[in-house]
Amino acid sequence: MAREASAGARDRSPAPGPPSAPPGARRLAAGGWRLAASGAGIMARGPAGAAAVLGPLLWGCALALQGGMLYPRESPSRERKELDGLWSFRADFSDNRRQGFEQQWYRTPLRESGPTLDMPVPSSFNDVGQDGRLRSFVGWVWYEREVTLPQRWTQDLGTRVVLRIGSAHYYAIVWVNGVHVAEHEGGHLPFEADVSKLVQSGPLSSCRITIAINNTLTPHTLPPGTILYQKDTSKYPKGYFVQNTHFDFFNYAGLHRPVLLYTTPTIYIDDITITTGMDQNTGLVNYKVFVQGSEHFQLEVRLLDEEGKVVAQGTGDQGQLQVPSAYLWWPYLMHEHPAYLYSLEVRLTAQTEAGPVSDFYALPVGIRTVAVTENQFLINGKPFYFHGVNKHEDADIRGKGFDWPLLVKDFNLLRWLGANSFRTSHYPYAEEVMQLCDRYGIVVIDESPGVGIVLTQSYSNVSLQHHLEVMEELVRRDKNHPAVVMWSVANEPASYLKPAGYYFKTLIAHTKDLDPSRPVTFVTNSNYEADLGAPYVDVICVNSYYSWYHDYGHMEVIQLQLATQFEKWYRTYQKPIIQSEYGAETIAGFHQDPPLMFSEEYQKGLLEQYHLVLDQKRKEYVVGELIWNFADFMTDQSPQRAMGNKKGIFTRQRQPKGAAFLLRERYWKLANETRYHGSAVKSQCVGNSPFTF
Ligand code: GCB
């Protein structure tokens, strides 16, 4: 949820000081992003029929958020200035964490109010220093950066200058030159502020950006958490508290993704919504363009193929482009020409008193359809089997900070593995990740940060309202990615609790309202009889850890237990099923034969038992398997975790454990079996080469 303050707004009185008054306690009322027709009170519709084929051509992207969130791309009418690098930084270690607001640190350069650290952006602040207090810090941290702007940006009143923050975990307040410009709740989705007036108001050719970020999680944040005050003064110092979370990854915080400034003209293309379909061999591209700044403009739309040839064109703010003999966007490994991307070029022209204005934006478009039947997941009308992974945005000292080398390495490992898909467990990933999925043909289940919804309080109306808004932000950001084939609204909520029925009915209906072109699910670990949300999903996604979290060491029970799990779920719902998590904790280099828990042999043995059942059930209604996890990742400290979760088939440094080779054999075999078009995929050896074009 974001609110953009008017650029000229006066600076504000001190903002709240978690953890005693965490962000959730003072969420902004409605702000700029209000719903037209939906919200917590939405009339939920009947259960999503398992056999419902989701019409690919339905419009209905009635996005309720005001304003778009197009990825900032350079064009003849748009420039970008990246602000990655070293920022000044200070954590507010004061007892109430409010000193920064009391002393108004945003008013003057941060170095004037006390000592600062150099902090790389993007990165998490937790692991880059040597101060243990910073690693586990809870409360407000302050980032600041001075930026020199091109003269045109500060002098030309026909230029709109926008500050865009890719991700600030968890709650952020932003000032430019000491003036409050934006607030945003939620650590995984971008937000923006129009700062034109501020940077164009004086002789200055520079501006000072200050961002205060609070990582406190409460029962109403997504993900939720709780602050535990330890009041026993014989054991804890006065005022002692810790942040507890109900999920299994470290709550890294900071500016995790690129921060940038970009420009548009003052009359500009604000958003584009694409849906695609096929009529025989003709590809259909429905477009809707949203313009801000004027009601008087002309729009020209052209669709170009990969050779740059115009294959269709139109005018006006909405319409349908028809592409005879269209190339479809196919998932990687499913077809010999995967991931075909057209380019939709939108050109705006307008006349103003000051002269003509034009804006240009080009969006990659993949033509494909997605549908779900009782026992199949269809892409372009053909059965698709997910053989993929669950990931985390996590590695080494940068925490969750975006990193190109890591990203490219991960995609090369996916290819090496023969994985065709992943779930963005357990929060939306960086936009650059989604762009590479489009480009490489990696299919994505796009998950919201709804992980750890286990407390009754987290089912309150306040929480639901926020969750609805997060889904709006997520759909708004990712709706045009062909790689995204399904939304996941949550992971392992306590979906057996009474309020869960209404909560998931509402949330799923709302997500379908936002995007009728994709199926919606959440990932469950509840019992099939007790799960109150399952009636509303299109695909059952179930996590299970047989012979890991129970029946320790007894791999002989896996086949029976897993087969029972599938049969019970299918008999109850007649919906396709994905085994959305399974795996075993494995410390790289631990060997034991016969296998014992934590050894590489145990991980392989456990996977093999799962695969035997998956091979039977995928002939019936199981449509996918996603290993937990692609790579080891950091968690909170606990006696159950040896420096993080070690269920990766790769280490945190991206080196393979034995299970990676086992899975690689399997995935390439599956790829050959489930390939739709042309000859078989060559031997798995081709997987050694990176993605090429
Ligand atoms: C799960 C969770 C995941 C955990 C995993 C585990 O079911 O969805 O976040 O990390 O189990 O390893 O326990």
pLDDT one-digit tens code per residue, 65-106? 778 999 999 999 999 999 999 999 999 999 999 999 999 999
Per-residue pLDDT of 131-182, as tens digits, reads 999 999 999 999 999 999 999 999 999 999 999 999 999 999 999 999 999 9
pLDDT at 553: 98
Q: What is the pLDDT of residues 227-271, one digit of tens each?
A: 999 999 999 999 999 999 999 999 999 999 999 999 999 999 999
**Among 253, 446, 274, 427, CA closest to 346:** 274
Three-state SS sequence of 647-690: CCCECCCCCECHHHHHHHHHHHHHHHHHCCCCCCCCCHHHHHCC
Distance (angstroms) between ligand 1 centre and the Cα of 542 equals 12
Residues 298-343 pLDDT 10s = 999 999 999 999 999 999 999 999 999 999 999 999 998 899 999 9
Tell which wins on pLDDT, 11 or 482. Answer: 482
Q: Is 524 in the pocket of ligand 1 (CB under 6 A)?
A: no
Query: Which residue has the CA at smallest separation from atom 3 of ligand 1?
Result: 248
- Per-residue pLDDT tens over the stretch 429-476: 999 999 999 999 999 999 999 999 999 999 999 999 999 999 999 999
608 C-alpha to center of ligand 1: Å? 19
Give the CA distances from residue 567 to residues 374, 385, 557, in Å, rounded to whole numbers and listed in that order.
14, 18, 16
Quick: pLDDT tens for 411-430. Answer: 999 999 999 999 999 999 99
- Cβ atoms of 352 and 390 within 8 Å: the answer is no
pLDDT of residue 117: 97
525 lines ligand 1 (CB under 6 A): yes
User: Atom 5, ligand 1: which residue's CA is nearest?
Assistant: 248
Task: Judge whether residue 4 has pLDDT over 80.
Answer: no
Determine whether the shortest distance from the Cβ of 586 to ligand 1 is under 6 A: no
- pLDDT score of 560 more than 50: yes
447 pocket-lining for ligand 1 (C-beta < 6 Å): no
Ligand 1 center–CA 425 separation, angstroms: 10
Q: Which helix (H) or strand (E) holds 242?
A: strand 241-245
Nearest to 264 by CA among 236, 294, 242, 296: 294
Active-site residues, by number, are: 492
Using most ligand atoms within 8 A of CB, pick from 543, 582, 606, 632 the residue to mutate for ligand 1.
Answer: 543
Pocket test for ligand 1, best of 581, 582, 597, 640 (most atoms within 8 A of CB): 581
The pLDDT tens digits for 641-688 are 999 999 999 999 999 999 999 999 999 999 999 887 654 454 444 445
Model pLDDT, residue 575: 98
The minimum-distance atom of ligand 1 relative to the CA of 525 is 7
In angstroms, rounded to a whole number, what is the distance separating the alpha carbons of residues 369 and 377? Answer: 11
The per-residue pLDDT for 678 is 55
Q: Mean pLDDT, the chain, as a whole number?
A: 90
Task: Look at residue 688 in the predicted model and tell me its pLDDT.
Answer: 52
pLDDT-based confidence at residue 201 (cuts at 50, 70, 90): confident
| Contact by Cβ (8 Å): 566, 617 | yes
pLDDT, position 336: 87
pLDDT band at 690 (very low <50, low <70, confident <90, very high): low
Cα torsion angle, 118, 124, 130, 132, sign: positive
Ligand 1 pocket, mutate which of 248, 249, 422 (most atoms under 8 A from CB): 248
Helix (H, G, I), strand (E, B) or coil at 437: helix
Q: Judge contact between 359 and 512, C-beta under 8 A.
A: no
pLDDT value at 211 more than 50: yes
Q: Is 492 in the pocket of ligand 1 (CB under 6 A)?
A: yes
What's the rounded Cα separation, in Å, for the pair 583 and 571? Answer: 25
77 touches ligand 1 (CB under 6 Å): no
Burial class (CB in 10 A: 0-12, 13-18, 19+), 188: buried
Strand partners, 278: 283
238 within 8 A of 222, measured Cβ to Cβ: no
To the nearest 10 degrees (0 to 180), the angle between helices 658-674 and 600-617 is 20
| % of the chain beyond a pLDDT of 70 | 88
Q: What is the DSSP letter of 470?
A: H
pLDDT at residue 674, rounded to an integer:
85
C-alpha distances out from residue 156 to 409, 489, 512, Å: 42, 43, 42
Does 580 contact ligand 1 (Cβ within 6 A)? no
Distance 110 CA to ligand 1 centre (A): 40
Using the 8-state DSSP alphabet, how is residue 376 labeled?
Answer: -
Q: Which amino acid is at 487?
A: W
| Distance linking the first and last C-alpha atoms of the chain | 38
Output the pTM of the full model.
0.92
Q: Residues, the chain, total?
A: 693
Q: Which residues contact 153 (CB under 8 A, 6 or more apart)?
A: 79, 159, 161, 199, 200, 261, 263
- Out of 7-16, 285-294, 579-588, 631-640, least confident range: 7-16
Q: Which residue has the higher pLDDT, 202 or 326?
A: 326
pLDDT band at 48 (very low <50, low <70, confident <90, very high): very low
Q: Residue 11: CB partners within 8 Å, gap ≥ 6?
A: 104, 106, 107, 175, 178, 179, 180
Cβ(465) – ligand 1 distance below 6 Å: no
pLDDT computed for residue 26 by the predictor: 33
DSSP 277: E
Outline where 264-367 has alpha helix (H).
none
Pick from 426, 578, 628 the residue to mutate for probing ligand 1's pocket: most ligand atoms within 8 Å of its CB.
628
Has residue 17 got a pLDDT over 60? no
Residue 370 phi, psi (nearest 5): -130, 135
Q: Residue 3: which pLDDT band, with cuts at 50, 70 and 90?
A: very low
Q: Which residues of 367-384 are buried (b: 16+ CB within 10 A; e: fewer)?
A: bbbbbbbebebbbbebbb
Distance between CA atoms of residues 184 and 188, nearest Å: 11
Q: Say which range, 33-37, 212-216, 558-562, has the weakest mean pLDDT.
A: 33-37
Which range (20-34, 116-130, 339-353, 584-598) has the least confidence? 20-34
The tokens describing 204, both together, are 């200055």
Q: What phi, psi does 158 have (nearest 5°)?
A: -85, 5
| Cα maximum dimension of the chain | 81
